[in-house]
Amino acid sequence: MKKVLLSGAAIIAIIIGCKTANSATPGKSIKIAMEAKSGSKVSGEATFTEENGEVTLEAKLTGLKPGVHAIHIHEKADCSAADGSSAGGHWNPTFKSHGKWGSASYHRGDIGNFTADEDGNATVLFKTNEWCISCGDATKDIVGKGLVVHQDPDDYTSQPAGNAGARVACSGIIK
């Protein structure tokens, strides 16, 4: 058997080569703070992360009334109105009827419902390949839109927005 001695530079080159070969490309991420609206005490933060063509939304919210609430992406990153109405309607770049995500017809902003516990806390986790962060595709790009939490659940049928009640928290999805 023949022994091979490597120089320090060769060992470093091998280590660097292994490290870069195993490193994943870092994803894009936006973290936003939710603002209380409509006289609510709702607060929290949401993070959108894009990796391998899929966007994950994770929102942690407090100050909600216990029970079921809707969460949607709206047309504008403008949460200046006291009732959140400045965020516009649901984001609907494909011009579909409102509905439940994954059904025959739904808006790209129709995330759905989540449940706040008895203390008013909730975590929302949602993943899709139908969104992107700063990709420039108007039918997928969530940057420049608004994330809105509603007082009530989405009924998934009322047009155009699911009869989800007041907007109790809002934040622009901006870098």
Fill in the DSSP letter of residue 75. Answer: S
Q: Is 167 a catalytic residue?
A: yes
Work out the mean pLDDT of the chain and round it to a whole number. Answer: 87
- Each domain of the chain, given as residue ranges in start order, spans 28-173
Q: Which of the residues 69, 83, 90, 154 is marked catalytic? A: 90
What type of residue sits at position 169?
A
Q: Which of the residues 108, 141, 154, 167 is marked catalytic? A: 167
Please name the residue that has the structure tokens 């899709």: 128
Q: Is 69 a catalytic residue?
A: no
Check pLDDT > 50 for residue 110.
yes
Q: SS3 of 18, please?
A: helix
pLDDT for 11 equals 39
Q: Is 155 a catalytic residue?
A: no
What confidence category does residue 12 fall into, taking pLDDT thresholds of 50, 70 and 90?
A: very low
Average pLDDT over residues 31-48: 98
pLDDT for 159 equals 86
What confidence category does residue 162 fall into, taking pLDDT thresholds of 50, 70 and 90?
A: confident
Q: SS3 of 105, please?
A: coil
Rounded Cα distance between 136 and 138, Å, is 6
pLDDT for 73 equals 97
Please name the residue that has the structure tokens 């709702």: 42
Q: Which of the residues 69, 72, 108, 141 is marked catalytic? A: 72
Q: Per-residue pLDDT tens for 119-157?
A: 999 999 999 999 999 999 999 999 999 999 999 999 999
Q: Per-residue pLDDT tens for 41-82?
A: 999 999 999 999 999 999 999 999 999 999 999 999 999 999
16 contacts: CB under 8 Å, gap ≥ 6 = none
Q: Is 72 a catalytic residue?
A: yes
Whole-number Cα distances in Å, 35 to 3, 74, 81, 133, 139: 66, 15, 11, 21, 26
Q: Tell me which architecture the domain covering 28-173 has in CATH.
A: Sandwich (2.60)
Question: In degrees, to the nearest 5, what angle opens at C-alpha 126 toward C-alphas 156 and 90?
Answer: 45
pLDDT for 23 equals 34
148: closest CA among 38, 56, 53? 38
Half-sphere exposure of 11 (CA within 13 A, CB side): 5
pLDDT for 142 equals 97
pTM recorded for the entire structure: 0.84
